[in-house]
Amino acid sequence: MELNGLNSNHMKRIKDSIRSIPNFPIENITFRDITTLMQDPEAFKLACDEFHNRYKDKKIDKVVGIDARGFVFGAVLAYSLGVGFIPVRKKGKLPFKTLSEKYSLEYGTAEVEIHEDAISKGERVVIIDDLIATGGTVNAAINLVKKLGGIVVECAFIVELPELGGRNNIQGHDIFSMVQFDGE
Ligand code: AMP
């Protein structure tokens, strides 16, 4: 069965492969652990194929992956599309000249960086991470891509937590998620 172009059996298979850990890393957070998806070869392939099929005809020039779990799916997608992979990393990890972007967390702030020569003006980019919660992290990645003159075609995730409203915090960009955990 197809729902929004997604095969519902595949999406169920992917969702069932994700482990939920209550009260990690802090009290009252349920951590959605995608390592169990990655170690399951069938679920991992379904998820990677889903991204590939979605972007294969979108004239993507670069895939941006967000530190760290976005690197896994982003790198596979870049390889399968035959385009370059760009890491957006936590501050202080990239060795060359960088642009950086601060964003708010529930408590305090965080900062991510991109190499200043990673994307050329007008390049079409898809941004990949494992999960969107409040949207703060991907918003910072969007700003970095735009500062370099890149065009954000879409931001894509394995998991969305709709109750945290991330989708609504991203202005003017399309958000795609394979599975959603809503009050579960
Ligand atoms: P946010 O910036 O609020 O959208 O948070 C997204 C980032 O935090 C992603 O890189 C996720 O890997 C991580 N994250 C946030 N909440 C969770 C959660 N409940 N389970 C697993 N990862 C999470």
Distance in Å, CA 158 to ligand 1 centroid: 11
Distance 41 CA to ligand 1 centre (A): 23
Atom of ligand 1 nearest to the CA of 67: 10
Low-confidence stretches of the chain (pLDDT < 50) are none
pLDDT tens, position by position, 111-142: 999 999 999 999 999 999 999 999 999 999 99
Pocket test for ligand 1, best of 137, 163, 184 (most atoms within 8 A of CB): 137
Domain holding 88, by residue range, is: 2-180
Find the 88 Cα to ligand 1 centroid distance in Å. 15
Q: Is the CB of 133 under 6 A from ligand 1?
A: yes
CB of residue 181 inside a 6 A radius of ligand 1? no
Report the DSSP pairing between strands 151-160 and 124-132: parallel
- Best probe residue, ligand 1, of 26, 35, 131 (max atoms within 8 Å of C-beta): 131
**Residue 3, pLDDT score:** 63
Q: How far is CA 160 from the centre of its chain?
A: 10
Say what the pLDDT of residue 2 is: 67
Sign, CA dihedral 79-139-177-121, equals: negative
Closest ligand 1 atom to 139 CA: 2
* Residues contacting residue 97 through CB under 8 Å, at least 6 positions apart: 115, 116, 117
Strand partners, 65: 87, 128
CATH code, domain carrying 13: 3.40.50.2020
User: What is the count of structural domains for the chain?
Assistant: 1
137 lines ligand 1 (CB under 6 A): yes
Nearest CA to ligand 1 atom 9: 131
- Does residue 113 have its Cβ closer than 6 Å to ligand 1? no
SS3 annotation, the chain: CEECCEEHHHHHHHHHCCEEEECCCCCCCEEEECHHHHCCHHHHHHHHHHHHHHHCCCCCCEEEEECCHHHHHHHHHHHHHCCEEEEEEECCCCCCCEEEEEEECCCCEEEEEEECCCCCCCCEEEEEEEEECCCHHHHHHHHHHHHCCCEEEEEEEEEECHHHCHHHHCCCCCEEEEEECCCC
pLDDT digits (tens, 9 = 90+) for 73-92: 999 999 999 999 999 999 99
